[in-house]
Amino acid sequence: MLHREDYGARVCVKGWVRTKRGSKAVNFIALNDGSTINNVQIVADVEKFDPEMMKQITTGACISVVGEMVQSIGSGQAVEVQAHEIEVLGECPSDYPMQKKGQSFEYMRQYAHLRLRTNTFGAVMRIRHNMAIAIHTYFHQHGYYYFHTPIITASDCEGAGQMFQVTTKNLYDLKKDENGCIIYDDDFFGKQASLTVSGQLEGELGATALGQIYTFGPTFRAENSNTPRHLAEFWMIEPEVAFVDLPELMDLEEDFIKYCVKWALDNCKDDLAFLNKMIDNCLIERLEGIVNTEFVRLPYTKGIEILQEAIKQGHKFEFTCNWGDDLASEHERYLVEEYFKRPVIMTNYPKAIKAFYMKIDEECPVFDGRKMGQTVQGTDVLFPQIGEIIGGSVREENYDKLMNEITERHIPMKDMWWYLDTRKFGSCPHGGFGLGFERLILFVTGMQNIRDVIPFPRTPKSAEF
Ligand code: 4AD
Ligand code: MG
């Protein structure tokens, strides 16, 4: 309707009142139906309407207007509606929690059911939708199959995080064996089951049959990380590709993420312009920057060299960063935001800080003149403001080498025979990665807290709505 030019047409518009202003003679109502950040302006000649009804038109009320579409003389919009009939569908009393402008996001989180009606959350949710479409479009166009991996799983060896248990057992009366271990034989699945922390292991089964697959679904981690970057329930996109090597995997990561950001720039112009104005006025510039920059590809060992050099030059970090340490977010941010000033794809991490399934590098790196321990073909994509946005790797496809890792790490494999079968029967080189959907949305919207880019966040001690 906002793009129509058939002035004089009779239209019916329904939506929620953003503001009402005006004089005794004319009222201007900014009405929004959620389809866009832009409001339609309703012009109501006061004398035409019942004063009691006009009083009910307050911020947040839901109304239906029949009127004539006219060319707007005011700036900011091309059309407005000269109201003939107005019906109040839902009044909105003055204790409406979203009434005031400029409330903090923290305050609004208490009203996740109503914050969706604000401009900012409307913009974020529309961008979230667009990013999901971008992801499906990218993979579909590149010959990947959307592959549905289970949400309930009985394998707990991924090691990506603490798991939530799924059970129908009576928790007040648990049967235990002589060692005090809970007996699961009589549980719903006949064994201990949990919510998945990643679809990767099943994704590998898909890729080694269909060639290229991706998953896109909810993922659950019960780690007690109360940070602006962690959710207990988040959405993850996990492509898995047969016959890929490390450079090709990094090409895919970079191409895919640039495509998504470009999609937002092309398809979410109004919402981005709004967020750029209200949340972060470097947002659009930063997004354009990503699309037009080549990502740095940095082996872990080289990264440690840079960080240690920075320390020598007087830079202070809270945590240590010796070869072998897992990098803290302050280290990642130094590399991305200060040293390179662009996204970094870090690779070839020490084996001990990465998962068992990552392919081991042929040669050990040399650091400070000394030969270091084994490294693996893992790749993390590190982004400005966000830190790790993607984690992935080339997988170990050799049965014996994989078994070796499993044994060394004491990984419980009794329920994993099916995973090992991929390495037994027609094993092939393959790899993939996981993109945290909400971390992508954080980056694209410029929002600061991951709780504000998912409609109803799940975090420690919080599962309202
Ligand atoms: O690095 P992660 O743990 O990798 C995996 O799960 C692999 N199985 C992926 C694969 O190779 N198929 O998680 C992948 C990404 C992270 O880079 C991060 O963006 C996001 O998932 N992520 C979270 N997002 C929100 N809340 C959390 N608690 C997250 N944990 C990970
Ligand atoms: Mg990771």
Query: Tokens 């047409």 appear where?
Result: 9
Residue 225 binned pLDDT confidence (cut-offs 50, 70, 90): confident
- Closest-CA residue, ligand 1 atom 25, reads 230
Query: CA of 283: how far to CAs of 128, 338, 341, 360, 446, in Å?
Result: 16, 18, 15, 39, 6
CA distance 219 to 195: 7
Tell me how far apart the terminal alpha carbons of the chain are, to the nearest angstrom. Answer: 33
Is 392 near ligand 1, meaning CB less than 6 Å away?
A: yes
Residue 223 has pLDDT above 90, yes or no: no
Contact 344, 330 (CB under 8 A): no
| Ligand 1 neighbourhood includes 236 CB (under 6 angstroms) | yes
Minimal-distance CA residue to ligand 1 atom 17: 390
Q: Which of 120-134, 229-243, 302-316, 405-419 has the lowest mean pLDDT?
A: 405-419
**pLDDT score of 440 more than 90:** yes
How confident is residue 72, by pLDDT bands cut at 50, 70 and 90?
confident
| Distance in angstroms (rounded) separating the CA atoms of residues 51 and 109 | 35
Check residue 115 and give its pLDDT: 97
The mean pLDDT value of the chain amounts to: 95
Question: At 103, is the secondary structure helix, strand, or coil?
Answer: coil
Question: What ligand 1 atom has the least distance to the C-alpha of 388?
Answer: 17
Q: Which ligand is nearest to the CA of 438?
A: 1
pLDDT of residue 101: 81
Mean pLDDT computed over 80-105: 94
Q: Helix (H, G, I), strand (E, B), or coil: what is residue 180?
A: coil
- In the reported structure, the alpha carbon of residue 239 is separated from the centroid of ligand 1 by a whole-number distance in angstroms of 12
Two structure tokens written together for 240: 């898995």
CA 424 to chain centroid, in Å, comes to 35
Q: Which of ligand 1's atoms lies nearest the C-alpha of 440? A: 19
Give SS3 for 416: coil
The average pLDDT across 211-228 equals: 94
DSSP 338-375: IIISS-EEEEEEEGGGS-TTBPBPSS--EETTEE---E
- For residues 386-410, average pLDDT: 95
This prediction's pTM? 0.96
Q: Is the pLDDT of residue 339 over 90?
A: yes
Taking the centre of ligand 2 as the mean of its atom positions, its distance from the CA of residue 416, in whole angstroms, is 22
CB 453 within 8 A of CB 441: yes
Task: Confirm or reject: Cβ of 230 under 6 Å from ligand 1.
Answer: yes
Residue 158: pLDDT band (50, 70, 90) is low
Band of the pLDDT at 75, cuts 50, 70, 90?
low
CA 135 to chain centre: 12
**Any atom of ligand 1 within 6 Å of the Cβ of 149:** no
> Which ligand 1 atom is nearest residue 434's CA?
9
> How many Å is the Cα radius of gyration of the chain?
27
- Is 206's pLDDT higher than 70? yes
In whole angstroms, what is the distance from residue 252 CA to residue 246 CA? 10
Share of the chain above pLDDT 90, in %: 90
Please give the Cα distance from 192 to 194 (Å, whole number): 7
Protein residues within 5 Å, CB atom, of ion ligand 2: 391
Residues 115-133, mean pLDDT to the nearest whole number: 98
How many residues does the structure list for the chain?
465
CA distance 290 to 293: 5
In terms of DSSP bridges, do strands 40-45 and 79-90 run parallel, antiparallel, or are they unpaired? parallel
Q: Return the bridge partners of 66, or none.
A: 12, 85
Q: How far is the CA of 256 from the centre of ligand 2 (A)?
A: 18
C-alpha 405/C-alpha 352 separation (Å) is 10
- Please provide residue 115's backbone torsions phi and psi, each rounded to the nearest 5 degrees: -65, -20
- Listed residue (374, 352, 355, 354) closest to 363, CA to CA: 374
Residue with tokens 């590809």: 297
Instruction: Give the torsion through C-alpha atoms of 353, 247, 445, 122, to 10 deg.
Output: -100
pLDDT for the residue numbered 421: 95
Q: Does residue 138 come out as left (phi exceeding 0), alpha (psi in the -120 to 50 range) or beta?
A: alpha
Q: How many CB atoms lie within 10 A of CB 431?
A: 29
Nearest ligand 1 atom to alpha carbon 160? 3
Query: How far apart are the C-alpha atoms of 416 and 201, rounded to whole Å?
Result: 9
What's the average model confidence in pLDDT over 28-38? 97
- What string of DSSP letters covers 267-298? H-HHHHHHHHHHT-TTHHHHHHHHHHSPPEEE
Half-sphere exposure of 389 (CA within 13 A, CB side): 24
Distance CA 360, CA 354 (A): 11
Using CB atoms within 10 Å of the CB of residue 182, give its burial: 0 to 12 exposed, 13 to 18 middle, 19+ buried: middle
Is residue 436 in contact with ligand 1, taking CB distance under 6 Å?
Answer: yes
Atom 26 of ligand 1, residue of closest alpha carbon: 230
- Residue found under tokens 């109004």: 270
pLDDT of residue 188: 96
Is the predicted pLDDT of residue 362 greater than 70, yes or no? yes
pLDDT reading at 157 higher than 90: no
pLDDT at 52 over 90: yes
